[in-house]
Structure 1
Amino acid sequence: MKTSPLDYVLSTIAITLILLLAVAGVWALRPLTTAALADYHVVADFLLLLLFYGLLSAVAVRVLLRVQPIAPGEYDGDSPVFTFWKLITIVYRLGQGALLPFTTVFTRPVVEALYGARVGADVAIGGTIDDPYQVEIGPRAVIGHNALVSGNVLYGGKLTCGKVIIGAGATIGVNSVVLPGSEIGENAVLMGGSYLMPGTKVPAGETWRGNPARKWM
């Protein structure tokens, strides 16, 4: 993936602004943490810094996408959309990294929702969601360990973006890959290790497997 000086400039500006706001939040609360924890306030300050950075990065991603949404489509390496996508990706990945100490199996859906994913009730996420703002997950869906649900794919120097819709009660098996433009119907199952190609639609209730994934039963 080609990286330009503009990518570094935009990323540095965004990260610096978010970090400064996070530090300001910690500094404002420092009298409280010092009074409550004395010499141990440093630990609380560090955790608050991570929390504020993660939350502020989520706000930044939501605001940037509200101003300039990333529409589904294919974009060349020198496209302004590609540059914007790289900026959004850096911001949300660093932000989610900062939230790792607060991310458990129970809070993972909340973290993904902070960055734009539409997540229903009682969803279990054991894998990775790439470009969460492109992903919709219905109630009671399960994403298995090490599975990847991605709203983007990079190939031949081009970026392809697209929505991913996972229906209610659907199951994505361990180590599976779901690529942009895919739709998985309600109560459908993608078996472990399967590879769902871009734009594939899995009807409700069906079981698919393989690379590329095909209907099994």
Structure 2
Amino acid sequence: MQRLLALIGPLPFIALAIMAAGVSLGFAVWLFSEVFAPALSTLPPVWRYPLTGLALASSYFAYGLTLLLVAPLLNFVLGGRLQPYRGSAVSLMALRWYVHCTLTLLVRYSFLEFVTPSPFAQLYYRLMGMKIGRNVTINSTAIADPSLIEMADGVTIGGTASIMAHYSQGGYLVIAPVKLGAGATIGLRAIVMGGVEVGEKAKVLAGSFVLPNSRIPAGETWAGIPAQRLELARDAAGNGTRAT
């Protein structure tokens, strides 16, 4: 029975991904077939083939930009907006999380890299439920559970940094919000787990791992695996700071 459930369990979410991708691809196919193809058919081969390549590439980007709207719409219709949760991975709340994850991963792995860190990516995250302040820079696509992530004004997310508002503990699925205060910085390849709060102008240095439910006070610098407070002392000559 468990093997059967393991086999059929992912099927509804695969179908959901196919639906979101298919609707978006439908617009791309229409654009190519009805707009580009008629004009291309009249050109000599020396022009037709390179321009066909450009038309196909343009249609792919039409797919991606459409997906940035279709995925949040399906997420909203299917109740994918998350709430904090701790319990079984097989429940109504967990089902909503699977919907949210499916749509987030589809966008991430099929298109989002091409528009990060542009305003298109931030528009998508906002539509998925993320709260984003002004002058925020998100230079990573490794953002899970956007509907439970809050970034205040001036937050900077470094390249390939991971922020996820969930984790597993004691056999339970835990979904917990992540809050990044104004001016906070998450460094390159750092990992921030569910339940973490980072204070104003605090820094998580590159490659660090912030454990679930950690609280980083305003202005502090944390580093390491697991991340801990890093003491910074100005050297005797006043030339800068060093870690202690």
Q: Which TM bucket (shorter chain)?
A: 0.7 to 0.9
CA distance in 2, matches of 1:84, 1:171: 30
1:168 maps to what in 2? 182
> How many angstroms does 1:36 deviate by?
5.4
Q: Give identity over the alignment, percent.
A: 26
Instruction: Tell whether the 8 Å contact from 1:75 to 1:158 is kept in structure 2 after alignment.
Output: yes
Instruction: Tell whether the 8 Å contact from 1:96 to 1:111 is kept in structure 2 after alignment.
Output: no
> How many angstroms does 1:116 deviate by?
2.3
TM-score, length of structure 2 as denominator length: 0.75
Task: Sort the Cα spacing of 1:7 and 1:194 in 2 relative to 1 into closer, same or farther, 3 A.
Answer: same
Residue pairs, 1:114-153, within 5 angstroms: 114-127=127-140, 128-153=142-167
2:242 maps to what in 1? none
Instruction: Tell whether the 8 Å contact from 2:183 to 2:202 is kept in structure 1 after alignment.
Output: yes
CA distance in 2, matches of 1:197, 1:4: 30
CA distance in 1, matches of 2:40, 2:110: 22
Unaligned runs of 5+ in 2: 42-47, 232-244
CA distance in 1, matches of 2:217, 2:131: 20
Cα RMSD for the two superposed structures:
2.6
What do the CA deviations read for 1:44-77 (whole angstroms, capped 9, x no partner)? 333323332343112212333xx36432122223
TM-score, length of structure 1 as denominator length: 0.82
Opposite residue 96 of structure 1, the aligned amino acid is R
2:122 maps to what in 1? 109
Opposite residue 112 of structure 1, the aligned amino acid is Y
Task: Sort the Cα spacing of 1:147 and 1:19 in 2 relative to 1 into closer, same or farther, 3 A.
Answer: closer
Bigger Rg, structure 1 or 2:
2
1:177 maps to what in 2? 191
Count of residues in Structure 1 that have an aligned counterpart in Structure 2: 214
What do the CA deviations read for 1:118-174 (whole angstroms, capped 9, x no partner)? 222222223321111111111211112232111111345431111101011111122
1:18 maps to what in 2? 20
The answer to whether residue 34 in structure 2 is matched with residue 31 in structure 1 is yes
Residue among 57, 74, 95 paired with 2:86: 74
